């Protein structure tokens, strides 16, 4: 059978949890109509990605990549995923701020955060424009 799970699912529990977090965020993005909850879902998805990256950089028995003194030789974790997570956090903060400000403007225009109601109002406006 082609579709078979590998052996490392339980050993890679951190990655598995990251995937579950990603999925929770994705479900929130799809199933909620409220724009605020969609933004929170996107942030949960980001958290899943950070956890995945951070766990990919781990080396067995490795310490944080900070040398106590210049001559010390210790096993260190991979520093590259840590830097990438930092980039991700900054980008996610910026995107969240932009989305929230756009949401404020949408609420100002339509007085609701529900996406379906916003679509209905837009359709009504268009019909009104066509008939007049």
Partner 1 sequence: MTQKNNRLTSAYRRIYRRVYMVLSIVLCIFIIGTLLWTVSYLPPYGDTNTPTHNEVADRYVSQGLTETGATNIVAGMILDYRAFDTLGESFVLFTAFCSCLIILQGSEFVKQHRPDKYRTFDDNILRYTMYVIVPMVMLFGVYVLLNGHLSPGGGFSGGAILGAGLVLMSLAFGHNTVSRFLTPHRIRVITCCSLCFYCLAKSYSFFTGANGLHSIIGPGVAGNILSGGLILPLNIAVGCVVACTMYSFYCLFERGDLK
CA dihedral sign, ordered 39, 95, 18, 23:
positive
Among 44, 54, 56, 121, binds partner 1 (CB under 8 A): 56
The interface with partner 1 within residues 87-126 (CB under 8 A) comprises: 87, 89-91, 93-95, 97-98, 100-102, 104-105, 108, 123
74-83 contacts at long range (C-beta below 8 A, 24 or more positions apart): 81/53, 81/54, 81/56, 81/57, 82/54, 82/57
Yes or no: say if 15 and 86 are a contact pair by the CB < 8 Å rule. no
Using CB under 8 A as the binding rule, whether residue 59 contacts partner 1 is answered as yes
Q: Binding to partner 1 by residue 6, rule CB under 8 A?
A: yes
- 23 is an interface residue for partner 1 by CB under 8 A: yes
| Least Å from the CB of residue 61 to partner 1 | 8
| Maximum C-alpha span of the chain | 81
Site for partner 1 contains 36 (CB under 8 A):
no
Q: CA geometry: angle at 69 spanning 63 and 51, to 5°?
A: 25
Say if residues 64 and 81 touch (Cβ distance below 8 Å): no
List residues binding partner 1 (CB under 8 A). 3, 5-9, 11-16, 19-20, 22-23, 26-27, 30-31, 55-62, 64-70, 76, 78-83, 86-87, 89-91, 93-95, 97-98, 100-102, 104-105, 108, 123, 127
């Amino acid at each position: 059978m082609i579709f078979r799970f590998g052996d490392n699912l339980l050993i890679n529990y951190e990655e598995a949890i990251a995937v579950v977090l990603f999925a929770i965020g994705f479900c929130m993005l799809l199933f909620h109509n409220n724009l605020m909850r969609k933004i929170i879902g996107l942030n949960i998805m980001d958290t899943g990605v950070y956890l995945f990256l951070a766990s990919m950089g781990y080396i067995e028995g490795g310490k944080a990549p900070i040398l106590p003194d210049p001559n010390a030789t210790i096993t260190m974790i991979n520093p590259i995923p840590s830097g990438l997570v930092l980039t991700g956090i900054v980008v996610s903060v910026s995107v969240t701020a932009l989305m929230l400000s756009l949401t404020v403007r949408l609420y100002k225009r339509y007085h609701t955060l529900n996406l379906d109601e916003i679509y209905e109002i837009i359709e009504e406006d268009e019909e009104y424009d066509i008939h007049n």
